[in-house]
Structure 1
Amino acid sequence: MNLKTLILAAGKGTRMKSDLPKVLHKVNGIPMIKKIIEVLDKLNSKENILILGHEKEMILDSLGDVHYVVQDKQLGTGHAIMMAEEQLKDYDGDIMVVCGDTPLLTSETLEKMYKKHRESGAVTTILTSIVEDPYGYGRIVKKNNLVSAIVEEKEATESEKEIKEINAGVYCFDSKKLFRALSKIEKHVEKDEYYLTDVISINVNNCEKVETYTLENNEEVLGVNSKVQLAEAEAVLRNRKNLDLMNNGVILIDPKNTYIEESVEIGADTVIYPGALLQGETTIGKNCEITGNTRILDSKIGNNVNIQSSVIKESILEQGVTIGPFAHIRPKSHLKEKVHIGNFVEVKKSVLETGVKAGHLTYLGDAEIGTDTNIGAGTITCNYDGKNKHKTKIGKNVFIGSDSMLVAPLDIGDGALTGAGSVITKDIPSNALGVTRSKQIIKKEWNKK
């Protein structure tokens, strides 16, 4: 495929009313500009070139190693393409131009558009859409089924305003003829800008063929210029994601109220209830059940896991784990097979081996806990001394009595147990009892005094 792409991403996006560059605003968990690049990568083009300007350093920090040119002064779309001429001076092929704020475009649409461009022999092909209310859009004027002009709203005649085919802002060009035409366009005085659409009139005046490819799904034409449009695009992508998951065997009880980001992967027959928020690089296995008000971020969840109304971040839950309700699994935690974490339990940077149980009201931080150990209600690993974090090691088949305070650093051997209400400050050998408890005193009739 002899194709390169140019991505327009230099604008300030003032209508977003944000310090963040417009193209870095996220849609369903991914910055708009990254979404566009992902779509274009599927075309297998030779090169994607970004045209950057406003806050280019911030964009480059987000994207990493990309090809780009700089438009220091934002003088319109035509001027933006001119900035890439030097980099493309030795290139003889096709150029596709897209905007960095159109995250709803699909690779299928762009592939079909490019195919028509090649097969038709056109020097320029424009992506268009048929809309019921075309107000504000550039109208596609045709003669003998070929484009004769793109007319903007304020310049359109009454008959041209009735045209419902509009410019969607994506183009395929013959590279050499594109830059030849750009050298002839003039600045529009009223806006002090060079318009890319003026290339079309030059093509037509040269008796060159200008074609269109009409969108099958009008929602793809949505450009994001405000927070309202950002929410609209987010809703569309979220719906696409949910439909894809359901078509691959995932059960969503109420898709409209289930929030699953682009990069999340879920296995067949997993049931997701409304209100769940699944984010980032999260993978979830088969036959799981995740109830509402659960948030999972950048975590790996095995098969047959049950999670009720809990928060899980940057952690691993292996097969058969049960969580919640109202548990908090913090980063760098690893819960192995059949671990049970109950209500109001917090786990941080800890490894819980197979079969560990912590049923209620417990904090486990910087801990290693052995197989089949039971953690009683109210247990706290006291891991922080005000300056440093220390580790608690608990062996297998240990019974930690309710309301135990385990003051780290601490090592509790296999088969040991602690008495309820104990503050444990010294290591406990295997199979031993550790208990610290004040003597109970009863003073009869004390309350009558």
Structure 2
Amino acid sequence: MTRSAIVLAAGHGSRMKSQKHKVLHEVCGKPMILHILDTLEKTGLDQVIVVVGQHREKVMEAVAGRADIAIQEEQLGTGHAVQAALPYVREDAESVVVLYGDAPLIQSETLEQLFTVREEAQAAVSVLTADVADPTGLGRVFLDEAGFVSKIVEEKDATPDERRHHVINTGIYAYAADALRRSVAQLRPDNAQREYYLTDTLAILREGGQPAIPVAVRDVDEIASVNDRLQLANVERLCRRRIIEGWLRAGVTMVDPDSTYIDATVQLAQDVTLLPGTILKGQTVIGAFSEIGPNTRLTDVVVGEHAVVQYSVAVDSRIGAGAQVGPFAYLRPGSDVGERVKVGDFVEIKNSRIGNDTKVSHLTYVGDAEIGANVNVGCGVITVNYDGEKKHKTVVGDNSFVGSNVNLIAPVTIGEGAYIVAGTSVTEDAGDDAFVIGRVPQVTKPNYVRAWKARKKSATSPEGGDSRGH
């Protein structure tokens, strides 16, 4: 059975009050339209067509390589959008599902059921319905005695009794391809909006002796759609809960799921522990037995097994197995922290590789550097990587010791096993086993402070004739 899908994504979404197209707004770290495409991919369809219209360039860019594109030059209703897509539907397609790019929570199992019911009954169309607590503003679905859809009544046209009905039309349909083509060709804009409504195809088919089969959605959360920022926040909440529940069932521990945020694109191993305030975004991957949080945000970060990251921020970085990061560390893009490394409080690392078993314990900046294995980097060390025009690299060899308050003024290379004395500003390369000291000679004036303070006080007092004048 050859199956196609038509995803309606032409409207810009004016109620979003955004320069961004509605279907490109993210839900749990992924644009809504990509949630839909991922779901359709799981359903195993043979073809996906996305209908675009206003501000379409970015939408086309987002779905490139994953869907055919149909352009709806004027937005004249859902039926008109399907008309724009039909020339692209494969000639051998037998079933076509129509759904919306702003309803990202629909599940592949639901779409499969919608297809299967139609195909097994050899019906012209099946329609996804939902029994909702508050149907305000939605079209009501009514069934005949045989259980087929007898009519769909929009709220503005409904009687008081009809408005008390709670079964609604989700707007998601599975058609026999030939029935879709025939019924869409008969649509007319005979309404106040002068638009072509896809819902009218159900009446056309029924009049031709082919009534629609209703399929009730099992979880009403799946049909939640987005028209404004409030609905976007609601869909985000529903999606986040689904993601959290999935990872809990997969063997991840969360001390407080309500304060844990995980993007749809994140991957977690079994026996990971997430503490309150953890935010995992992008292509982040966490290895088994690692502990993340509290109050930690990782974006596009790969974390090895048995690592601990707490009260820290990391972006586009790697943290090796058994490493400890934080509290209050910042790993900027390009940071590669090796195995069993200690990155302590108020340490910032940027575009640098830190070798295995190295300790960068506190109050240190490492930028554009390559630090070897088993190196001790003391408190207050700074790699001076920027000269005002260009960035320069610092290299420190394995088994070296970098004392507190050392400035490594790049470009500079320190060999293996070197020892840099605290307070040194390193301006030249040093080889293996080198002892580096570069302090300014100390000047000590004994019995000086009290006399100095007295002279200073006398010089600024009125009696002393303030040398600054009045």
> Same fold, TM exceeding 0.5?
yes
- For this structure pair, what is the TM-score category when the shorter chain's length is used for normalisation? over 0.9
Cα deviation, 1:75-132, whole Å, max 9, x if unaligned, reads 0000000002222373441110000000111111111121111112210100000123
- Is the contact between residue 188 and residue 195 of structure 1 (CA under 8 Å) also seen in structure 2? no
Indicate yes or no: 2:450 matched with 1:448: yes
SS in 2 for 1:149: strand
Q: Structure 1 residue 408: deviation in Å? A: 0.8
CA distance in 2, matches of 1:35, 1:6: 15
Q: Secondary structure at the match of 1:225?
A: coil
Secondary structure of the structure 1 residue equivalent to 2:141 = strand
Aligned to 1:18: 18
Q: Number of paired residues?
A: 449
Separation of aligned partners in 2, 1:375 and 1:294: 24
1:417–1:432 Cα contact (<8 Å) kept: yes
| CA shift for structure 1 position 203 | 0.8
Does residue 143 in structure 1 map to residue 144 in structure 2?
yes
Aligned partner of 1:270 among 261, 269, 272: 272
In 2, distance between residues paired with 1:299 and 1:29?
A: 14
Contact 2:285-2:303 at 8 Å conserved across structures: yes
- SS across alignment from 2:87: coil
Deviation for aligned residue 1:427: 0.9
Task: Indicate the residue corresponding to 1:111 in structure 2.
Answer: 112
Secondary structure at the aligned position of 1:299 is classed as strand
Deviations for 1:16-59, whole angstroms, at most 9, x for unmatched residues?
A: 11010000000000000000010011111110000000111011
Secondary structure of the structure 1 residue equivalent to 2:85 = coil
Give the 5 Å matches for 1:16-55.
Answer: 16-55=16-55
State the distance in 2 between where 1:162 and 1:91 align. 42
After superposition, residues 204-283 of structure 1 pair within 5 angstroms as 204-283=206-285
CA distance in 1, matches of 2:161, 2:98: 29
The answer to which of 148-157 and 50-59 deviates more is 148-157
Matching residue of 2:316: 314
Unaligned stretches of 5+ residues in structure 1: none
Give the Cα–Cα distance (whole angstroms) in 2 for the partners of residues 423 and 87 of structure 1. Answer: 68
Who is 1:191 aligned against? Answer: 193
**Alpha carbons 1:315, 1:333 under 8 Å: kept:** yes
Superposed, 1:329-408 pairs within 5 Å as: 329-408=331-410
Whole-angstrom distance in 2 between the partners of 1:286 and 1:87 = 46
Question: 1:299 aligns to what?
Answer: 301
Match of 1:87? 88
Q: Residue by residue, what CA displacement relative to the aligned partner does 1:54-76 show, whole Å, maximum 9, x if unpaired?
A: 11101122232231100010000
Contact 2:4-2:89 at 8 Å conserved across structures: no
Larger radius of gyration: 2
Distance 2:272 2:182 in 1: 56
Match of 1:417 among 411, 416, 419: 419
Moved over 6 A (4+): none
CA–CA separation in structure 2 for the residues paired with 1:292 and 1:226: 32
Pair 1:121–1:384, CA change in 2 (3 A): same
Give the 5 Å matches for 1:429-440: 429-440=431-442
The answer as to whether partners of 1:6 and 1:50 remain within 8 angstroms in 2 is yes
The CA deviation at 1:260 is 0.6
TM-score (norm 2): 0.94
Which sections of structure 2, spanning at least 5 residues, go unmatched? 452-470
CA distance in 1 between counterparts of 2:93 and 2:377 reads 69
Quick check: 1:121 aligned with 2:122? yes
- Say if 2:202 and 2:211, in contact at 8 Å, map to a contact too: no
Give me the CA root mean square deviation: 1.2
Deviation at 1:414, TM superposition (A): 1.0
After TM superposition, the structure 1 stretch with the greater mean CA deviation from structure 2, 291-300 or 68-77, is: 291-300
User: Do the aligned residues in 2 keep the contact of 1:379 with 1:402 (CA within 8 Å)?
Assistant: yes
Maintained 8 Å contact 1:121/1:209: no
